[in-house]
Chains A and B, each alone.
Chain A
């Protein structure tokens, strides 16, 4: 009998190789410090949005509270390294474990809710965490923030160096992509996607849906925690406002714009929105002479336009392109879901 994964989910590595080559070559082209910083932040944000894509696009559950888990990761790293002199690596792992447990136990209760109510509950989680970060002054430094977070050092390689840290972050992104891709291409992935289509159907097949919802919620939260730790060690200073609800919404916008049903879509959305964000800031500040949160208005507009004309996100453009080019076999690997590749609606 043929190898199952080759028959079912072909053409995965090609896309990944293109991605890796692109990541490896970018530092040669990019020389400005500013763009470099953006590329590193992109990597950090991508880790969160990939997790969100698993949760929203595959399992069909929503979260407008992932900035909270991002914050828990960041503050675990920051507090453990600056106040308890713990090893940064140990702090990152402890942060991820703590976030997993918190998300798991919160998820058990919260994921019983559906749709809009679930969205509200996740916002509430975010607000609670934000309030704690703000109020627990002796630990977190409160609104003034927490500084002096050490840079990372990996087996003698100084990750305080911009280029080194860039590669380090993107290697982690690659590992996250592979882990998530494996998950989606397994029976667990099929269970998650089936939840999206029919909860009744999958329950009747003997699967406890709530268990998988909670697990994927906890995993995506753990991704966010990892991203938070990386952020803390990169910027070396954190304050609660970074981890408030607007960032959760921004993450959601990224995933929606890129294409919620695909990991690559999540990343494309992250890139698009991050650059859009910078563009808006630049234009509004230099030409329109307005300051404040102008980007929120643009996001609102972008979401409305996207939902009307491209409900499956930017990544759906690649699908259309593929379909036109190869009717027999399409495997540029840009889309993780075989269903779309094989010819869909």
Chain B
């Protein structure tokens, strides 16, 4: 079997007396699309923040291609090929769409201040490279015609596209999406799902948190289910749909009550 790209080992997070995430372990393999689901407050975002080094875990560790990344700094992850998006969009509002995308590719550039100030050949070449790459992504994500629009003037759905494009422009190996479809309408949701599938075919691996079940069932290869901070199930969409613990977690109470009613 191939080596997992991401290994989450016994991650636990306690805030004072509250345990937000408790002993969660799972693996993600290259080329997979894995979804993390769970009712509100199940600890999905905390888990996500621990994997992406935004919050240090109380216990446990995270490995990227075998390398321990648990206590790395946020900015050290992108160079390793791991990128993330945010639930409340972290785009650059005062910049245009194309500038946002070009900023996304920074990790591949040298960004030397003096080369830029004196406009040396290396800086001009980097600029051209970033521009061409960004135009490619504009087309791929369907943002044509909006290249020079300020991101803060865009609709929520368009901003989501910008954030997604800016996250994948540098060709990361592993992309973590925090509710990529939240706030999108049906058409936009489908388009986002298609883009994710398309990027998977280009070799990217995805781990995402989402609430829209229909979309999850359509694109996810595997699903990890959290409830009250614990992993209660893991499996293919078909398995998860039939899993009694999952149904109980979502509907509440006893499954027999649900069935009989």
* A residues with CB within 8 A of B: 1, 3-5, 7-8, 179-180, 182-183, 186-191, 193-194, 196-198, 200-209, 215-216, 219, 338-339, 342, 344-345
Contacts and interface: CB of A to CB of B under 8 A. Distances in A.
Given A182-B117, A344-B150, A5 B95 contact: no
5 contacts: A186-B123, A188-B116, A197-B93, A207-B75, A215-B113
Nearest to A1: B132
A92 to B, nearest CB: 18
Interface in B90-125: 90-96, 98-99, 102-107, 109, 111-113, 116-119, 123-124
Contacts of A198: 90-92
Contacts of A196: 94
B125 to A, nearest CB: 10
A190 B131 contact: no
A193 B94 contact: yes
A342 B148 contact: yes
B210 to A, nearest CB: 19
Interface stretch (B27-35, B79-87, B218-226): B79-87
B16 to A, nearest CB: 24
A204 B100 CA distance: 13
B117 A180 contact: yes
Contact of A5 (B99, B106, B113, B124): B124
Contacts, number: 139
Nearest to B74: A203
Contact of B92 (A187, A194, A338): A194
A64 to B, nearest CB: 24
B96 A191 contact: no
B67 to A, nearest CB: 16
A201 to B, nearest CB: 3
Contacts of B99: 8, 190, 193, 339
Contact of A201 (B90, B109, B131): B90
Contacts of B118: 179, 182
Nearest to B120: A182
Contacts of A4: 127-128, 130-132
A198 B94 CA distance: 10
Given A1-B131, A182-B118, A183-B116, 13 more contacts: A4-B131, A187-B106, A187-B111, A190-B102, A193-B92, A197-B91, A201-B90, A203-B74, A206-B79, A207-B107, A338-B148, A342-B149, A344-B150
B249 interface: no
Nearest to A5: B127
Q: Residue among B92, B105, B127 with the most chain A CB within 10 A?
A: B92
Binding site secondary structure of chain B: helix
Given A198-B90, A202-B103, A204-B86, A188 B152 contact: no
A231 to B, nearest CB: 23
A190 B78 contact: no
Contact of B106 (A180, A197, A205): A205
B78 A205 contact: yes
B92 A197 contact: yes
Lowest 9 CB-CB distances: which A-B pairs, in order? A206-B78, A201-B90, A4-B131, A206-B107, A186-B116, A197-B92, A179-B117, A203-B74, A194-B92
A88 B69 CA distance: 52
B135 interface: yes
Contact of B95 (A1, A180, A193): A193
Interface residues of B, number: 51
Given A187-B116, A191-B103, A204-B74, A339 B150 contact: yes
Contacts of B12: none
Contacts of A182: 116-119, 123
Contacts of B96: 338-339, 342
Contacts of B102: 187, 190
Interface string B123-165: 1101110111001000000000000111011000000000000
B46 interface: no
B205 interface: no
Contacts of B70: none
Contacts of B128: 1, 3-4
Contacts of B52: 204
B197 interface: no
Nearest to B99: A190
B199 interface: no
B5 interface: no
Given A204-B83, A205-B104, A186 B127 contact: yes
Q: Residue among B79, B98, B117, B127 with the most chain A CB within 10 A?
A: B117
Contacts of B7: none
B137 to A, nearest CB: 14
Contacts of A187: 102-103, 105-106, 109, 111, 116, 126-127, 130
B66 to A, nearest CB: 20
A187 B153 CA distance: 22
A339 B78 contact: no
A339 B148 CA distance: 8
A4 B132 CA distance: 8
Given A182-B118, A205-B106, A197 B150 contact: no
A1 B128 CA distance: 9
A190 B148 contact: no
A345 B153 contact: yes
Contacts of B182: none
Interface in B53-82: 73-79
Contacts of B116: 182-183, 186-189
